[in-house]
Structure 1
Amino acid sequence: MRIYKTKDYEDMSRKAANVISAQVITKPDCVLGLATGSTPIGTYKQLIERYQNGDLDFSEVKSVNLDEYKGLPKDHDQSYYYFMYTNLFKDINIDLDNTNIPNGMEPDSDKECDRYNKVIESMGGVDLQILGLGHNGHIGFNEPEEVFEKLTHCVDLTESTIEANKRFFASADDVPRQAYTMGIKTIMQAKKILLVVSGEDKAAILRDALCGPITPQVPASILQLHNDVIVVADEAALSLMD
């Protein structure tokens, strides 16, 4: 595991974009595992800028997203498809047919999870998986549990996650209570993982994830067992690390 301390959010975004850019340049037809949330927005802006400057070409890239709310249509302004389209896809030359996100409108959880597992398998797995870190240690929507969930599954969101996400909705009552998410095994099968973390409010959970015991109560702690993890985090997020 390599940990890169950055000065601030902008510096974190730039360095994270460097890692992704290197992957795309080295393997133009790579499979990128993408994440949503506020943390990677700056990184995506950096990638857009580099594409517009002629430094990156996404025409052969394939992507798979970590998760999607169950029950939200693609055109809902809080769906993760909408997030990816507005924050990245529409401003680069990626083929939308090569982008993959769980279908939140499929009511049959088993059917959708099986479909998404097969999509990832058909691509030969993920070359570089981008991850954010939830306040309770979740990666994707893999919430603290008694065991590590292996493959794509439907998860009941915890109250802390609903609370964290309610700012994006009219009220907490409007936040979906379930989501489809890649499982821990799927994430860990990525050839390389990039974890991006920003802010003092993430310092305690980042310390627990990187230095604490490996436990499904802190899902991100499993990353300690992966052989190629890059952590890019700002000084505030790393403030409790020895």
Structure 2
Amino acid sequence: MDVVIAPADEIGEIVADDIAALIADRPDAVLGLATGSSPLRIYDAVARRVADGRLSLAHARGFMLDEYVGLPVGHPCRYSTVIDQDFVSRVDLAPDAVRGPDGDAADLGAACDAYEQAIREAGGVDLQILGIGTDGHIAFNEPGSSLASRTRVKTLTEQTRHDNARFFGDDVDAVPHHCLTQGLGTIMDARRIVLVATGTSKAEAVSHLVEGAVSARWPATVLQHHRRVTVFVDEDAAAQLELVDYYRHVRAHRHLVS
């Protein structure tokens, strides 16, 4: 696991560099797209490059991490709506190039199975973007989730519903209780993972993610077993890391490694 401590405004550009390099090598790459606040700087940086002609996603595809159950198509808080507004509508992805799990399906179990199959048929995710919740969840894999889990229905914790109420006009009662989410095992299948965390509210979760024991209590800690994961944090999110000086040292000297 690599840890990069950088100003929040720089993180988006750093990850956009990685996406641009991936697309240059493989124009039809598959991106794993997260919603929420953490990836917005990445999407902004990528959209700027597409707008000025430095990057094209015309042949790329994307898969979302999760979706609320019961929000109809077009609902402003449905994640398919959010990812379209925050990213898809701002770049040159082909129509229907981005797919999410169908939280409005009549048979949710079948929808989860179909989503897993669609990811496999696309060849898997090349680069997965993640955020992290204050309780250590990634996607909607809440504390207690199986570290080998696949796409499934999950019940959201009250902490997560309170954290997400800001997107529902601060009305926690409007936040659904259930979602469809890629499982931890599904996420771990991605060939590369980048996780972004900023702000003091994420510091405890980041400390467990990077330096804690691997445990279902802090689901993101499963990423310690991934071969290629980079954690991008600002100073506030890095505040509880004990080996912070080492992470800075590694980044400062990385260019010396062939």
TM-score range, shorter chain: over 0.9
Q: What's the counterpart of residue 172 of structure 1?
A: 172
CA contact (8 A) 2:105 2:111 kept: yes
Structure 1 residue ranges, 4+ long, deviating more than 4 angstroms after superposition: none
Which amino acid in 2 is paired with 1:141? Answer: F
TM-score by length of 2: 0.91
1:148-183 Cα distance to aligned partner (Å, 9 max, x none)? 252100000000000001111141111011000001
Counterpart CA distance in 1 for 2:52 and 2:147 is: 42
Q: Within 5 A, what are the aligned runs for 1:36-47? A: 36-47=35-46
Report which stretch shifted further, 56-65 or 13-22.
13-22
Counterpart CA distance in 2 for 1:146 and 1:5 is: 28
Q: What's the counterpart of residue 233 of structure 1?
A: 233
| Number of positions where the alignment pairs a residue of Structure 1 with one of Structure 2 | 241
Counterpart CA distance in 1 for 2:128 and 2:68 is: 19
Counterpart CA distance in 2 for 1:74 and 1:210 is: 37
Q: Within 5 A, what are the aligned runs for 1:47-196? A: 47-145=46-144, 147-170=146-169, 171-196=171-196
Task: Give how far 1:68 is off.
Answer: 0.5
CA contact (8 A) 1:89 1:96 kept: no
Task: Give how far 1:96 is off.
Answer: 2.4
Task: Give how far 1:146 is off.
Answer: 5.7
Secondary structure of residue in 2 paired with 1:93: coil
Counterpart CA distance in 2 for 1:230 and 1:195 is: 6
Q: What's the counterpart of residue 3 of structure 1?
A: 3
Structure 2 residues without counterparts, runs of 5 or longer: 243-258
Q: What's the counterpart of residue 250 of structure 2?
A: none
1:19-56 Cα distance to aligned partner (Å, 9 max, x none)? 22222222110000110001111110111001011111
Secondary structure of residue in 2 paired with 1:97: coil
CA contact (8 A) 2:153 2:181 kept: yes
1:135-156 Cα distance to aligned partner (Å, 9 max, x none)? 1100000001163252100000
Q: What's the counterpart of residue 202 of structure 2?
A: 202
Task: Give how far 1:200 is off.
Answer: 1.2
Q: Within 5 A, what are the aligned runs for 1:20-31? A: 20-31=19-30
Counterpart CA distance in 2 for 1:239 and 1:233 is: 10
Report which stretch shifted further, 75-84 or 14-23.
14-23
Task: Give how far 1:186 is off.
Answer: 0.8
Over 3 Å counting, the alpha-carbon distance change for 1:34 and 1:234 in structure 2 is: same
1:54-87 Cα distance to aligned partner (Å, 9 max, x none)? 1111011010000000111221110111111111
Counterpart CA distance in 2 for 1:112 and 1:162 is: 23
TM-score by length of 1: 0.97
Secondary structure of residue in 1 paired with 2:4: strand
Which amino acid in 1 is paired with 2:125? Answer: V
CA contact (8 A) 1:16 1:196 kept: no
Counterpart CA distance in 2 for 1:24 and 1:38 is: 24
Counterpart CA distance in 1 for 2:130 and 2:103 is: 20
CA contact (8 A) 1:15 1:232 kept: no
Counterpart CA distance in 2 for 1:132 and 1:16 is: 13
Percent of aligned positions that are identical: 37
Structure 1 residues without counterparts, runs of 5 or longer: none
Q: What's the counterpart of residue 34 of structure 1?
A: 33
Counterpart CA distance in 2 for 1:15 and 1:125 is: 23
Over 3 Å counting, the alpha-carbon distance change for 1:177 and 1:111 in structure 2 is: same
Q: Which has the larger radius of gyration?
A: 2
CA contact (8 A) 1:203 1:237 kept: yes
Over 3 Å counting, the alpha-carbon distance change for 1:103 and 1:18 in structure 2 is: same
